[in-house]
Every structure is written in C-alpha cells, then in structure tokens.
C-alpha cells in the first residue's frame, strides 16, 4: 500500500490506474478510523480494482468553536487500518496542499445543506462540498463510498455529483452500530462513561420512531414528539433537533409517506455532538 501526499502524485497514480483499465473507488475520511470506516473500505474493495482511502481533517468544515484542534489524528494506526481493510492507496495531503495561499473557490449547496446540520453548523457543508469536490478531482474515482451515518452529507454529495455533472457513482453504506445501538463515530471517544451509557437514547428514539411508523402513525409531529420524549430520558445537555425529513432535500415532513422518510437527530452530551438517523416505512396494508 502506498501513502501519497500531493495532489499531483495522486492524480498521476489515478490516471495510470484508469489508463490500465482499472476501476477506482474512493473512501473519503477524516481519519480516526473505526469499524464504520472499515466497512466502507471493505465495500469499496468488493466493487473496485483500486481503493483509495483519503485521510484529511478538513479545517474548512469546522466552525470556530468546534473540535478541529482536538480532533483525533492517529495517523500511523489509520494507515495500518486502511491497509488491512483493503486500501491500495492512502491519500493524506497537508492543509497547505489542499488550501494553498490564495485559495478562494468554494462549492455551496443551496438547498439540502440549509437546515439541520447546515443551520447548526454554518459553513459546515460549504467546507464538506468543497473538500469532497477537491478529493474527487485529485483521486479521479469511478465510485465513491460514503456512510449513511452522515445522512445530510450524503444528500449534499448526491446533489454535488448530480449538479456538477460528475461522472462518479455514489454508494451509500449502512450505519455500523455498537451492540447497544449507538452508531459508530470518531467522536464517541469523547464521551465519558456516564454519557456513553446515557447515549443509548438516540437508538431508542429512532427505533421507537420506526415502530410507530410501521404501526401506521402518519403524523411526523407525533413521531418527533415521541423522539424528544425518549431523548430527554437520557438527560442530554442539548437536543439540537429530532425530525422526520425527506432524505433527498432534507426538508421536514408533516406526513410520513409509505416509504423513504428519514428520522434524524442530533444530541449533545457535554461538548460531544452525536448524530444518527433511521429510515421509516409504513407497513403496507394487506388489501
Ligand atoms: O464524513 C467525513 O468524514 C467528512 O465529512 C468527509 C466526507 C471526509 C469530508 O471531509
């Protein structure tokens, strides 16, 4: 496995693989790789000849009071994990390589990025869309694998690929969870033992929403209220939001459709923000 540091090296390697007729997949990450990332890399491995894992903690997607400086950066173990999971190349540029002096061009999504994470974290998706576009241009993939865990990011990347006519297939991998249901995230490491124990309410709230929808509840307001009720049992420091949305536009829904509604939530324990989501389906009536 190779570690490449510059865009020029990465583009050359990608060109040479493409020239040899090989299919490239990219798995963009910010490092601190866990089993969730491993599942993305393994998925890419089954679908491509060459797997590129990118490791870059992107300053442009962090707000001024967010965790950019304390974000975990276990680089050597990340490289080992990426290799063991099936990566052929790790692309790990420096911030200066990505955002050199004079950098002035950003990619802005105007719809899917506007609510929820976009409203809570102004500028976040501008940073995400910009780095994802740059990573795509550097790695030249046929396929990109993202995790469903960051559902709004998936909506933004889908729109990016579609709106900018990128010739890239998007694969969205299911959320990987701990045995008690907590979705894997690099930020789980920040939770104290007590916060970790209380964080099970996220999964409880989402599975309750799923049960209610399957039992025929059509009111998104009723489902949202029930999610808030369960989340409060975990005494979080703040519930940023709990809602039922259309997964493509991230517009909040009033009525739960038969299929394709997404329950989403963001909750804070101490200074740690946890996100999760789950698809809701109305049980089809037996006619
Ligand atoms: O999901 C992440 O880890 C990041 O948002 C991404 C896609 C690697 C862009 O920095």
* pLDDT mean values, one per 10 residues, the chain (287 residues): 98 98 98 97 98 98 93 96 98 98 98 97 98 99 98 98 98 98 94 98 98 96 98 98 97 94 98 96 60
Q: 156 and 238 share a domain?
A: no
Residue 178 lies in a domain: no
Report the DSSP pairing between strands 272-280 and 238-245.
unpaired
Closest CA to 113 of 244, 251, 238, 239: 251
Question: What does the pLDDT read at residue 284?
Answer: 53
Residue 286 lies in a domain: no
User: Could you give the residue numbers annotated as active site?
Assistant: 37
CA 197–ligand 1 middle distance (angstroms): 26
Question: What does the pLDDT read at residue 282?
Answer: 82
What pTM did the predictor assign? 0.96
Q: Which residues line ligand 1 (CB under 6 A)?
A: 28-30, 58, 61, 128, 131-132, 150, 153
- Tokens (6 digits) for 54: 């990118």
Q: Answer for the pair 222, 198: CB distance below 8 angstroms, yes or no.
A: no
CA 54–ligand 1 middle distance (angstroms): 9
Question: What does the pLDDT read at residue 67?
Answer: 86
- Tokens (6 digits) for 150: 């960051």
Q: Note the helical H segments in 91-248.
A: 95-98, 117-120, 124-139, 151-163, 193-198, 201-214, 220-233
Closest CA to 57 of 90, 30, 21: 30
CA 29–ligand 1 middle distance (angstroms): 5
Locate the ligand 1 atom nearest the alpha carbon of residue 54 and give its number. 8
Residue 249 lies in a domain: yes
Locate the ligand 1 atom nearest the alpha carbon of residue 128 and give its number. 9
Residue 200 lies in a domain: yes
Distance of alpha carbon 181 from alpha carbon 204, whole angstroms: 8
**For the chain, how many structural domains are there in total?**
2
């Amino acid at each position: 496995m190779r570690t490449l540091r510059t865009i020029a090296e990465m583009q050359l390697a990608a060109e040479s693989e493409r020239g040899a007729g090989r299919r490239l997949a990219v798995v963009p990450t910010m490092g601190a790789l866990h089993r969730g990332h491993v599942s993305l890399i393994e998925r890419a491995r089954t679908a491509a000849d060459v797997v590129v894992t990118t490791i870059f903690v992107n300053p442009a997607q962090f707000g001024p009071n967010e965790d950019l400086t304390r974000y975990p950066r276990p680089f050597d173990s990340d490289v080992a994990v990426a290799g063991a999971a099936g990566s052929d190349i790790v692309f790990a540029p420096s911030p200066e390589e990505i955002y050199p002096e004079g950098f002035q061009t950003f990619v802005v999504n105007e719809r899917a990025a506007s609510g929820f994470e976009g409203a809570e974290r102004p500028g976040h998706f501008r940073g995400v869309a910009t780095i994802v576009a740059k990573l795509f241009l550097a790695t030249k993939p046929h396929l990109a694998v993202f995790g469903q865990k960051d559902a709004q990011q998936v909506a933004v990347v889908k729109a990016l690929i579609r709106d900018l006519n990128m010739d890239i297939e998007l694969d969205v991998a299911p959320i990987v969870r701990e045995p008690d249901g907590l979705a894997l995230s690099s930020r789980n490491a920040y939770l104290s033992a007590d916060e970790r124990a209380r964080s099970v309410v996220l999964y409880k709230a989402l599975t309750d929403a799923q049960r209610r929808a399957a039992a025929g509840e059509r009111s998104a307001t009723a489902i949202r209220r029930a999610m808030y009720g369960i989340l409060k049992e975990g005494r979080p420091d703040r519930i940023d939001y709990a809602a039922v949305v259309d997964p493509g536009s991230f517009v909040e829904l009033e009525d739960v459709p038969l299929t394709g509604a997404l329950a989403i939530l963001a909750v804070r324990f101490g200074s740690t923000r946890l996100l999760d989501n789950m698809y809701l389906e109305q049980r089809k009536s037996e006619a």
